[in-house]
Amino acid sequence: MKYLDIAIDRAVQLGAEYADIRIHKTTTEVLYLQNKSIKSANNDVLYGYGIRVLKDGAWGFAHSSVFTEDAILKTVQKAYDTAKLSARVKNGDGIRLANERSYIASYKTPFKIDPFSIPLKEKAELFMEINQRMMNLKEIKKANSFFRAQKDEKLFASTIGTRLDINTLYINPQITAIAISDDDSQSRTFDEGGRGVGWEWIEQLDLLEKSRYVAEEAVMKLNADELKEEKRRTLILDPNHLGLTMHESVGHPTELDRVLGWEADYAGISFATPEKLGNYQYGSKIVNFVGDNTLEGGLATAGFDDDGVPGQKWHIIKDGILQEYGTTRETAPFIGVDYSRGCNRATYYYDQPINRIPNLYLLPGKEELTPAQLISDTEEGVYIQGRGSFSIDQHRVNFQFGGDFFWEIKDGKLIRPLKKVLYRSNNPEFWNSCDAICDKRYWKPFGVINCGKGQPNQTARMTHGASPARFRNIRVGGSK
Amino acid sequence: MKELVSRIYEIIKKEHKADDYEVYISFSDNHEARFAQNAMSQHMTGQIVKVVYKASIDRKTASSSVNQYDEDTIRHLVKTTEDLARISQEDPEYIDSMGKQDYPKTDNIKSATMNLTPEMIVDIIKDAVDFAKSKGTKLSGIFSLNKTSFYFYTKRGFQGSYDTCSYEFSMTMKEGERETKVSTAGKDFSKFSLQSQLDQLYSQFSSLDKPNAMEPETISVILRPQAVANIMMYLRWLLDRRMADDGITPLKGQIGKQFFGEKFNMSTVEKDDNMTIVPFSNDSVLKQIDWIKDGVLKAQPISRTYANMIDEKPSSMFNVLIEGDTTSEEDMMKMAGRGLIINNFWYIRTNDMRTFDLTGMTRDGVLYFENGKVKHSVNNFRFNEKLHEITRRIMALGESTIVFNSSVVPTMLIKDFHFIDRTNF
């Protein structure tokens, strides 16, 4: 597109040390039903461009949705002027970008059926039927269904000669049943957090069948007991639950911008400081975390990031030891590294990209181990499925998590459902207490589409994954 | 701007075939300057446009939005939305759009804020960073300036517009384990004083020595306004009438009853010198409402849809004013004898909506006081607390102050606050 060249040429003329332009169109379809009422049937388009200029070691970022040559030139100028202003407040020589070569490439999320091609009527009928089935149980007073499809079409050019054409797509179905009695209300949700695939995933999921267990388990939860006391117990966590746990306690602490203190005013910083690289026992020896922006179906899989750095796969934690961070061209040099791991992403065209969590997952156990064997090998504990309340401090050390469904384990058997279970732990206690991980047959990916970070807030997406895993000696109880 | 909006609206009026519609148009000019570790880290500027068209045909509704406003795009927006509405399903809770209504006039535009320039913003940040450097500390934060014009039209005759212009500024000062934050916001920049912000920041920072270890306990707390705002803002969501009637929250049948503490008063106001006033939404028009008076639940936010179902009038919590008093922090410390001063809370989440049970942690510095005097700083804590029960244990209130652009809250002295865990780093 000619606008890419106009912007880059102008930035070079002005004397930018580096500049890029991202023309970005985001199309979103949202369908949300409460009981039998369609609360949202939305189609939203955001289309514009953001221009980043690095001048005198400082950034300026300007955005616009006006597509004329004049508007592009003015936006470049604005970004340049803003960078010059920024340079009045810098440390030393300011920002230096890690080395990267240029690319001319394209990427497209592989999918079979475009979710935007499925008529709204068909989608609405499916989710209406799901809500109706959930409400067939008399205790289910509220049934909610949510479907989101999003495509992002990006053209990227930079002053180092990179030209990219990126088209990504994801969908996220969620269904929730809420059982309500005179003295309590409990919900159960099916939500795999979204995936970079097409409508074919909806066909595979059999949401109508899933609505049955979602409703039944909401009622079971309503009638379930609570744990009477908090004490040290064994936890078995399912992959969906682990997705959120690893997001908060491994993903965020290993974002290099947080490590460097760049989010100190809001999202927070990280305990996982650079002197710990290569020697800090983050987890037990069976704990291996991989950053992988090449993961098929991964929500952060886009070919390249918004620095023009290709997707990569690397160990963040290997054999329990902290190895590396998720980095960008801007953050990596601050720890003496001259390459980026490709984690710089912006949400919409008007957002300046920031260091984000990549697709991040826990590798499965090497020994054959089924979830049934894991449970039968556990004398006493709690098995947690799905995601619930989550709260973690601004250094990413201490946390408290709930869940969506809970089973009490006794003598190797699931003996009764529980509700309102919370567990509290910290880094490094938690991941070091992991003593068993099921094998690769039970590994599942789970997405996060609403990772909030930055000021003004940006919402990023990424995929996590795990096999069921066991954690010993964790404080588990209720709210008090 | 008004001419452009009229042109967009005229296209929609001409093109539409829907039984009913709503149109929202907003133009927002933003300037955001972030700084971290004594240097500018991000610096963003630009205008964001949004045109939203919501159409209803045969009681079937759909909505679409775009951020381009040429004639072809707006025509396409109308057609796409109406096509979606036609293939949607009839809504059993369908309600017509708002009809013609008066709404309060706002006073959101102040010349001092309108005249803020990027150069002035960077000057403020530079002065703040220079101050931090002179104290051997690292400063991080953001200065954001937002100017928005908002227009709303319905087929049934509502026509309204308002402008806002506001700023927000926050700074976190850090050195070693010592870390604290101040933030301010408002619509009138003439009231902004960098020096008073820095004085407050450094006063908080200086009071934090190496934190003494302290075990969690049930103890009196003085919650400073940022902490109050962060925890009480959950009421904006949890007070909802429909969630109460459905049994999701504990407020079913509590209207007129003493559910909260006697010292707790919460209202929405039509006028305020500091807050940005939003005079209407697509759901209702701003009215002065006492939500909680002397601890009695007087009213709850009700959407237009639900108001229609239960034959009530809709109401929204456009802003929050929690009434304060005149008790100083010194007097609060004397009243409590022993306790903690909490600068801020962090990562508050619901454990259980049905009981208003929340969890969260302290942040930005915790001070231990005894015999009416600050002794030393202590480690951070996690709490699990029921929101309404906190208000029942209010012992005293300080003066209310603006925290976010739509909330004014006081310092609170709370008895027997339940901390359950240390959060050591």
B32 contacts on A by Cβ (under 8 Å):
455-456
pLDDT (tens digit per residue) in B278-317? 999 999 999 999 999 999 999 999 999 999 999 999 999 9
Q: How far apart are CA A297 and CA A112, in angstroms?
A: 12
* CA end-to-end span of chain B: 51
- Distance of residue A51 Cα from the nearest chain B Cα, in angstroms: 10
Half-sphere exposure of A395 (CA within 13 A, CB side): 20
Query: What distance separates the 2 farthest-apart alpha carbons in chain A?
Result: 73
Q: Residue B106 falls within a domain, yes or no?
A: yes
Give per-residue pLDDT as tens, A302-318.
Answer: 999 999 999 999 999 99
**For residues A66 and A3, is the Cβ–Cβ distance under 8 A?**
no
pLDDT score, position A480: 63
Interchain CB distance below 8 Å, A43 and B347: no
Q: In terms of Cα–Cα distance, which of A86, A69, A80 is closest to A19?
A: A80
Q: Which residues in chain B touch residue A124, judged by CB atoms under 8 angstroms apart?
A: 87-89
Kindly state whether residues B11 and B158 are assigned to the same domain.
yes
CA distances to A185, A207, A385, A418 from A220, rounded to whole Å, are 11, 20, 14, 9
Which residues of B are less than 8 Å from A82 in CB distance?
43-45, 118
Range of the domain at B73: 2-196
In chain A, which residue's Cα lies nearest the Cα of B361? A393
User: Cα(B91)–Cα(A38) distance, rounded to whole angstroms?
Assistant: 6
Q: Do B89 and A125 touch (CB under 8 A)?
A: yes
How far is B361 from chain A, CA to nearest CA, in Å? 7
CA distance A365 to A443: 9
**Which of B81, B247, B421 faces A180 most closely, judged by CB atoms?**
B247
The reply to whether residue A180 touches residue B246, judged by beta carbons under 8 angstroms, is yes
| Separation between Cα atoms, residue A283 and residue A433, nearest integer Å | 7
CA–CA separation, A271 vs A398, rounded Å? 10
Could you say which residues of chain A have pLDDT below 70? 480
The two three-digit tokens of residue A370, written as one number: 């089924």
Candidates B38, B283, B347, partner chain A, best to mutate (most A CBs within 10 A): B347
Are residues B189 and B215 both part of a single domain? no
Q: Are B138 and A38 within 8 A, CB to CB?
A: no
A431: nearest Cα among A276, A181, A267, A242: A242
Contact B339, B333 (CB under 8 A): yes
CB contacts, 8 Å: A91 with chain B: 37-39
Task: Yes or no: say if B103 and B160 are a contact pair by the CB < 8 Å rule.
Answer: yes
Across the A:B interface, residue pairs with CB atoms under 8 Å apart total: 234
Residues B256 and B358 in one domain: yes
In-domain check, residue B305 = yes
Q: Do A398 and B89 touch (CB under 8 A)?
A: no
Does residue B201 fall inside a structural domain?
no
What single-letter DSSP state applies at residue B256?
T
**Where does residue B209 rank: exposed (0-12), middle (13-18), buried (19+ CB within 10 A)?**
exposed
For chain A, what is the HEC assignment?
Answer: CHHHHHHHHHHHHHCCCEEEEEEEEEEEEEEEEECCEEEEEEEEEEEEEEEEEEECCEEEEEEECCCCHHHHHHHHHHHHHHHHHHCCCCCCCCCCCCCCCCCEEEEECCCCCCHHHCCHHHHHHHHHHHHHHHHCCCCEEEEEEEEEEEEEEEEEEECCCCEEEEEEEEEEEEEEEEEECCCCEEEEEEECCCECCCCHHHHHHCHHHHHHHHHHHHHHHHCCEECCCCEEEEEEECHHHHHHHHHHHHHHHHEHHHHCCCCCCCCCCCCCCHHHCCCCECCCCCCCEEEECCCCCCCCCCCECCCCCECCEEEEEECCEECCCECCCCCHHHHCCCCCCCCEECCCCCCCCEECCCCEEECCECCCCCHHHHHHCCCEEEEEECCCCEEECCCCCEEEECCCEEEEEECCEEEEEEECCEEEEECCHHHHCEEEECEHHHCEEEEEEEEEECCCCEEEEEEEEECCEEEEEEEEECCC
The domain that holds B96 is classified in CATH as 3.30.2290.10
pLDDT along chain B (425 residues), means of 10: 94 98 98 98 98 98 96 97 94 96 96 98 98 98 98 98 98 94 96 97 93 96 97 96 97 98 98 96 96 98 97 96 98 97 97 95 97 95 97 98 93 98 89
Which residues of chain B are within 8 Å of residue A44 when distances are taken between CB atoms? 64-66
Handedness of CA A351, A352, A354, A360 (dihedral sign): positive
The sign of the torsion formed by the CA atoms of A270, A276, A280, A283 equals: positive
Q: How far is CA A452 from CA A76, A175, A292, A354, B43, in A?
A: 28, 22, 20, 12, 19
Report CB contact under 8 Å: A41, B62: yes
pTM over 0.90: yes
Residues B23 and B87 in one domain: yes
Phi, psi dihedrals of residue A20, rounded to the nearest 5°: -145, 160
Helix (H) or strand (E) holding B339: strand B338-352
A283 bridge partner residues: none
Which chain B residue's Cα is nearest to A403? B351
Instruction: Decide if B349 and A390 are in contact by the 8 Å CB cutoff.
Output: yes
**Using a CB-CB distance cutoff of 8 angstroms, which residues of chain A are in contact with residue B36?**
260-265
For residue A269, what are its two tokens?
């910083």
Residue of chain A minimizing CA distance to B83: A120
Residue B80: closest CA among chain A residues belongs to which residue? A43
Query: CA A183, CA A139: separation in Å to the nearest integer?
Result: 13
For residues A466 and A443, is the Cβ–Cβ distance under 8 A? yes
A59 chain-B contacts, CB cut-off 8 A: 40-43
CA distance A346 to chain B (A): 12
**8 Å CB contact of B63 and A42:** yes
| CB-CB under 8 Å, A64 with B382 | no
Q: Are residues B277 and B372 in the same domain?
A: yes
Q: Does residue B205 sit within a domain?
A: no
Which tokens sit at A291? 């950053």
Q: Do A181 and B247 make contact, defined as CB atoms within 8 angstroms?
A: yes
According to DSSP H, which parts of B207-252 are helical?
225-232, 234-238, 241-245
| CB within 8 Å: A262 and B380 | no
- Cite the beta strand spans of B224-300 per DSSP E: 266-268, 289-293, 296-297
DSSP-based three-state secondary structure for B233: coil
Tokens of B307: 């108001």
Using a CB-CB cut-off of 8 Å, the residues of chain B touching A398 are 361, 382, 421-424
Cβ–Cβ below 8 Å for B170 and A265: yes
Does B9 fall in a domain?
yes
From the list A83, A120, A181, which residue is nearest B84 (CB)?
A120
In this prediction, residue B404 carries a pLDDT of 87
Judge if B244 and B354 occupy the same domain: yes
- Three-state SS for B205? helix
Cβ contact, residue pair B68, A65, below 8 Å: yes
Which residues of B fall within a CB distance of 8 Å from A263? 36, 140
Same domain, B252 and B395: yes
Which of A393, A396, A451, A480 to mutate to probe the B interface, most B CBs <10 Å?
A: A393
Q: Is the Cα torsion angle A466, A468, A471, A477 positive or negative in sign?
A: positive
- Residues B351 and B250 occupy one common structural domain: yes
- CA of A424: which chain B residue's CA is closest? B421
Calculate Rg over the CA atoms of chain B. 24
Asked, for residue B203, whether it belongs to a domain, the answer is no
CB contact under 8 A, B32 and A456: yes
Do B313 and B371 lie in one domain? The reply is: yes
Whether B202 maps to a domain, the answer reads no
Contact A33, A134 (CB under 8 A): no
Instruction: Using CB atoms, pick whichever of B65, B88, B118 lies closest to residue A44.
Output: B65
Angle A202-A206-A207 (CA atoms, 0-180°, nearest 5)? 80
Of the candidates A160, A162, A161, A18, which has an alpha carbon nearest to the alpha carbon of residue A96? A18
Per-residue pLDDT tens over the stretch B206-218: 999 889 999 999 9
Mutation choice for B interface testing from A63, A116, A230, A394 by most B CBs within 10 A: A394
Q: In the beta sheet, which residues pair with residue B200?
A: none
- Looking at the structure, tell me whether residues B190 and B229 fall in a common domain: no
Same domain (yes/no): B27, B171: yes
Residues of chain A contacting residue B60, judged by C-beta atoms under 8 Å apart: 38
Give A22 to chain B, closest Cα distance, Å.
14
Domain boundary among B196, B220, B239: B196
**Structural domains in chain B (count):** 2
Nearest CA in chain B to A354: B42
CB-based contact B37 A91, cutoff 8 Å: yes
Given a contact cutoff of 8 angstroms between Cβ atoms, the answer to whether A472 and A286 are in contact is: no
Strands (E), B156-311: 159-175, 178-186, 218-223, 266-268, 289-293, 296-297
B246 min Cα distance to partner chain A (Å): 8
For B87, which DSSP code?
T
Amino acid (one-letter) located at A351: D
Residue B204 domain-assigned (yes or no): no
Q: How far is A296 from chain B (nearest CA, A)?
A: 31
Same domain, B37 and B132: yes
